[in-house]
Amino acid sequence: MSNAPLPTPTPKPGRKKMFVGGLLALALGTSALTTLPFAGNAQPTPATPGSAITLPRQVGPQGFGDLAARVAPAVVRVTVTSQQAPATAAEIPPELRGTPFEQFFRRFEGQMPRGQQQAPQGRPRMGQGSGFIIDAAGYIVTNNHVVGEAGTVQVELADGREFSARVVGRDQQTDLAVLKVEAGGPLPTLEWGDSDQLRVGDWVVAMGNPFGLGGSVTAGIVSARGRQIGAGPYDDFIQTDAPINPGNSGGPLFNGNGEVVGINTAIYAPGGGNVGIGFAVPSRMARNVIADLQRDGVVDRGWLGVSMQPVDADLAAALRLPNQRGALVAGVEPGSPAARAGLRAGDVVVGVAGREVATPRDLAVAVAEIEPDSETTLALLRDGQRVEQAVTLGRREAPRQQARAGGLAEAERPAALGLRLAPSKGQGGGVQVAGVEPGSVAAARGMRPGDVILRAGDREVASPQDLAEAVQAARRDGRPAIALQIDREGGRAFVALPLAG
């Protein structure tokens, strides 16, 4: 084989393409592990007399050819046809419909010159994504935003066979969906891997159909874990720099063993394509959702019945907590599993079934993944002491709206906090904020008229006098702040008011 350098091709002028600038775009496909250009079998150039020092041979992955060949038969192309035209003149692509990124598209489309806008209303739309087979009987995983409200769904296998697919179930909150095809025989499948074992810096591989280019394989590393991008209440994404582009959504993200550790769902694409920031739903979460959808088309999630908030430095000091980790229980819904187990406002949940809870999102995700009607154990910090509390979870339901307090009767200001209070006639008790003085401590912490104060420190509040006494007691104890539990239009939270002076 000759070692002569290849001639440098003459560059050709490229076609200019228009992409949606600044769009946080969903990826329709997967990403694959690839080697660095110098990795694996790269050979150093022999040194000649007087030349620079010869670098040692690079050590790295030898390639992902064996992995790609093994998993490729179970990765599919998903093609959808929209059931009806969008309600606006600018048609929303199927891959964006029903996602947090739909509004970005609407705003951009409205700013485009008339001649450059999308196809007129009433014209059928088609979209493509990716998926992978998890059951030889023909069950396929993809993204909910790929399927959307599709009229028809077609699946193309790696061997070229095409089948009409039935949507078994969809879950908008995790952006996952399950399809079913009748292939007349067993199909190749992929195995789930453990996303909890992934470390930042580990290699990952993706496969899918970016821009319609079927069977594409890309590779990169895990850039971060536990990312929240505003896609839903259970955001817990794996971030990767493995190239993912439109068309990759719904495709698998593999570990080095060829096991599925994620489902590629979104990319950050300021220029319309990959910039090295992609997001995948972790397999730990996905496999539970997929199992529910495959069984009966519905996702059952555990329900605790509490409102939560993070712990900041002021609240940690006011509640005498050792640090800012955990989910602070801001309110307990009457008749909920939490209420029956004896949880109360002011408890800080730091663990669920042996799993650490550092933020409210951690608690929400952990509870949602537990089977309804099953018993689990919560680790709580209550009055400075760690407590283990058993609780039987219910099924998640929509939050119940609480009655707003009404009726105002002016009362004096309590202890220079900048609040004017009135008795509350609402069913939940407490005292209502009739006014907030501009520039006061209460104003600085965001309190406003109409808020209902339910607790102050470690005591319930039934009158303005109760709040004044709680503030005085906190000052006597030398506390730097007092934690007030407030009800605002049916939602409950804690606010820490400094007591300096």
CA distance 269 to 24: 5
Exposed/middle/buried for residue 447 (C-beta within 10 Å: 0-12, 13-18, 19+):
buried
- The alpha-helical segments, DSSP class H, found in 297-358 are 313-318, 337-341
Helix (H) or strand (E) holding 296: helix 283-296
Are 363 and 308 a contacting pair, CB within 8 Å? yes
466 catalytic residue (yes or no): no
Phi-psi region of 331 (alpha: psi -120 to 50; beta: other; left: phi over 0): beta
Question: Taking Cα atoms as reference points, which of 332, 352, 336, 335 lies closest to residue 344?
Answer: 332
**Which residue among the candidates 82, 130, 145, 487 is catalytic per the annotation?**
145
**Which residue among the candidates 31, 82, 130, 175 is catalytic per the annotation?**
175
145 catalytic residue (yes or no): yes
Strand partners, 416: none
Are 433 and 419 a contacting pair, CB within 8 Å? yes
**Which residue among the candidates 31, 82, 195, 249 is catalytic per the annotation?**
249
Please count the helices (runs of H) and the strands (runs of E) in the chain.
9, 27
241 catalytic residue (yes or no): no
Half-sphere CA count of 62, side-chain side, radius 13 A: 2
Residue owning tokens 């501009």: 438
CA distance 219 to 58: 18
Report, as residue numbers or ranges, the catalytic residues. Answer: 145, 175, 249
